[in-house]
Chain A
């Protein structure tokens, strides 16, 4: 695995929290017992998370959004604090959704440009609704709600 070097997005108002991982053979599968690969049709609430430090959620196609709900449940409902990793058909334009749903790493599809991917995290500074990371919707935020 090789971490993207272009991660400096500190200046953005919306903090970039998701780490991009370029596709390579070694990142394709998880063999560590502390890593759990959760299929899309598994209810995360039925799985024991004891000793699990990383959960991989797969996007079989980038248009298949089940993993967003799984991520939300893992983060918000089950309080999972380990690494949540997006795998599969991970494309630059969905990264912001992944970040907001609670993913903190994403393995970009082969052939995707990390710099382009990074830029997709910078289009918006704030959103209307709360999410897995910023749970408070804009209308309840103390500033900026109706500015």
Chain B
């Protein structure tokens, strides 16, 4: 993975020192809350429902065991609210029905970052120092700026890789870090990069989506998409360049972002994303970007043309793990023999959690953080530390955070798979559900997030609970279930084959269900938002509705047909009918219970 230079290291320390100064000025009353807000946001600090939330950047999802241990320390030592804060949160959430709020946890996000929910603000600068000590930070994980760049969790090891995206991601990271012109954009700005034939990074759903490709001459370049996004107006990105030579990427993105910064709407935050500008202006946007790009190249002298030397310098960090270069600090575990009785379970794990690798002697293994009792993507401090140990023992000390909220060990030796399986089983990460129904994506929702209109986690839990039978999960097959607690769509409900969106209506939590969304993968088809299948459901009905949808699929499917393929073939109607039959509460016009998240109109981060 990328190795920090002295400059990089010094830079994040300076950033941590700058943040400490800002925090102290705020606490002394010298920096108003309003002026501090964008500054803390651009370091990853939100103020949520009950406590601050920290979003730590994991650039393009790649993280070392040493860094993961620092996150474990943060979970254990800092993700601890005061009794007053915690009791207040518990009392208020209990009114909604939430009985348990985990503390001492990290949370993997859909943008490959890691969040913490309870760190007191007066300790936030200490946490930034701790992060800087392991080459980490929260720079631009929030705010109206260029956010963490995401990519395929299998980058550098995927068998279908055309170009390893990681060096380009790192070059983009450095260029976008504290870019003076682009820290106060109309709205947040997300970039995703994919270097494979399969799109595992939901590239079309980003403000800028980049596909690394090779032209007929074998030269590397980018296919550039602009204006994708979810939220209130879900739109997949538009291709504005079929082939941009790789060394021009920064000059071109400078044009893309400058045109947006100048002309993106600032009068209405719901219309401020670049997708609205691209949609409103159509080809004029592309013409403007091309003209600006030409001016950058011809007039400004293309100052950010990436040199081969720089690409080589950055690429040199991303060396494949081999027997020779893996640090042997971790003792090799005794080889585990899978017993005959364990074979079915082991085979399932091999099928779902183990992916092929560029190196035929290695595998990429997903640790499942989708299990009953914990929220999707949640990991306790102990579990984070265990994952770090597994990375040292099996994966050259490296892990990836996936946008599906799991971890991947990218360098596992094929001959160590049985031993790793046994170790992950003991750790509780061996659930063989990757890509299946219970490998759902869910945002933190109304239990933590101040933006949420409804809670996501109880919905995720009720579905997980109902679908515990592995035979049933395997029979249902590959399916993307995505849950968001509000229209901001952090849980990517628009791109789910089944999407669940929490809404606030009549002072109550309700859930809209949509069908047929796609993230742009081969399984799911071209990126498209799902379609809502009717009036919202009550929380108590959602799991029932999901079961009804899946039963409809199983009734009507053809041999080998996936859920999403069946939805496309059959249309929404049979699913709608089945879902409506599952209405209990809402079938009877609904009882209005006068409890409410009180968040819809609040001024929030």
Contact = CB atoms under 8 A, between A and B. Distances in A.
Given A66-B262, A140-B307, A127 B178 contact: yes
B25 interface: yes
Given A63-B184, A101-B181, A128-B178, A69 B258 contact: yes
Given A65-B183, A72-B258, A145-B310, 13 more contacts: A65-B182, A69-B262, A72-B181, A93-B22, A116-B30, A123-B18, A125-B14, A128-B175, A129-B176, A135-B303, A139-B306, A139-B313, A146-B5
Nearest to A93: B39
Contacts of A138: 7, 174
A29 B482 CA distance: 53
Interface string A9-27: 0000000000000000000
A68 B180 contact: yes
Contact of A64 (B7, B35, B184): B184
Interface in A57-103: 62-66, 68-70, 72, 76-77, 91, 93-94, 96-98, 100-101
A97 B15 CA distance: 14
Which of B39, B144, B179 has the most chain A CB atoms closer than 10 A to its own CB? B179
Contacts of B295: 77
Nearest to A140: B307
Given A66-B262, A69-B261, A113-B30, A130 B184 contact: no
Nearest to A137: B304
Contact of B300 (A76, A100, A116, A127): A76
A81 to B, nearest CB: 16
Contact of B261 (A65, A76, A100, A129): A65
B21 interface: yes
Given A69-B258, A123-B21, A139-B310, A130 B7 contact: no
A130 B22 CA distance: 25
A128 B177 contact: yes
A147 interface: yes
B72 to A, nearest CB: 29
Contacts of A70: 262
A131 interface: yes
Nearest to B5: A146
Interface of B: 5-7, 11, 14-15, 17-18, 21-22, 25, 30-31, 35, 38-39, 144, 171, 174-185, 250, 258, 261-262, 266, 295, 299-301, 303-304, 306-307, 310, 313
A146 to B, nearest CB: 5
A124 B16 CA distance: 11
A137 B299 contact: no
A42 B18 CA distance: 34
Which of A65, A93, A136 has the most chain B CB atoms closer than 10 A to its own CB? A65
Contacts of A91: 35
Q: What are the 9 A-B residue pairs with the smallest beta carbon separation, nearest first?
A: A65-B184, A100-B180, A123-B18, A97-B180, A139-B310, A128-B174, A68-B181, A130-B303, A69-B261
A77 B299 contact: yes
Contact of A93 (B35, B176, B178, B182): B35
A51 interface: no
B180 A96 contact: yes
A65 B304 CA distance: 21
Contacts of B38: 62-63
Given A62-B35, A116-B30, A137-B175, A131 B181 contact: yes
A146 B7 contact: yes
Indicate the size class of the contact surface on chain A: 35 or more
A66 B144 CA distance: 13
Nearest to B32: A91
B178 A137 contact: no
A127 B35 CA distance: 23
A119 B300 contact: no
A101 B258 CA distance: 13
Contact of A146 (B171, B304, B313): B313
Contacts of B182: 65, 68
Interface string A109-132: 000010010010001111111111
A76 B176 CA distance: 19
A33 interface: no
23 contacts: A65-B183, A65-B185, A68-B182, A68-B184, A69-B258, A69-B261, A77-B295, A77-B299, A97-B183, A116-B30, A123-B21, A124-B15, A128-B11, A128-B174, A129-B174, A129-B304, A135-B301, A137-B175, A137-B304, A139-B307, A139-B310, A139-B313, A146-B5
A62 B180 CA distance: 13
Nearest to A70: B262
Contacts of B184: 62-65, 68, 94, 97
A130 B313 CA distance: 19
A119 B181 contact: no
Contacts of A62: 35, 38, 184
A147 B5 contact: yes
A133 B7 CA distance: 20
Nearest to A76: B300
Contacts of A100: 180
B572 to A, nearest CB: 41
B144 A124 contact: no
Contacts of A65: 144, 181-185, 261
A11 B522 CA distance: 58
Nearest to B31: A93
Contacts of A94: 184
A137 B306 CA distance: 10
